[in-house]
Amino acid sequence: MTTTTERVLSPPARLTLTPAGAPPGLLDGAWWPRSRDLFRELPALTDRLDRCWGRITHVTVHPAHWPVIPPKVAVTGHTVHVGWFTDEQDPHKLILLSHPAGRWDLLVIPPETSAASAARLMTAAATPGSLLTAGRLMDDEDAVRDGAEDRGRESEWDTEGGATPPPLNHGIGLATSIQEG
């Protein structure tokens, strides 16, 4: 088991941020962790964010997507305090606090998300001035993905001979006219 004093090495965080100086929106970017293990994922995230936002001191998550929420996580040079909210926080959002720099809200993209979906979500979450919530972005992406899957199944059905053929009338009930000239 990992303790709060151990540093777990992990690859760099997959992160997209709204450009500095851009009009504020409801989100400041998106984070696509590789797992649902905050001990493993938070150090890589804070390594990236400490450089541009200042030392991250607190993080809050929604427990719906994190099986274990440690009270503290050791990161490079300091400890991040971790909290959780159920009613007040969108399940798909991570809130980061840096004293005295401020607060940032990131969309959390589930680790199992496909690269194409994650790319769309990261772009949407980092759109300057966007008024879409984390939950709305995830719902919109689910609709896009479901629509693409439906179109893919229809296309596969058609290419495998599963298309419905036109009705065979065999001349029954057909009105034909022959004009003789």
Question: Which residues does 163 contact at the CB level (< 8 Å), separation at least 6?
Answer: 157
Tens digits of residue pLDDT in 133-153: 999 999 999 998 776 665 556
Pairing of strands 72-75, 15-17: unpaired
Instruction: Enumerate the domain spans of the chain.
Output: 15-158
pLDDT in tens, 42-78: 999 999 998 888 899 999 999 999 999 999 999 999 9
| pTM, full prediction | 0.75
In this structure, how many other beta carbons lie within 10 angstroms of the beta carbon of residue 39?
21
HSE of 21, CA atoms in CB hemisphere, 13 A: 0
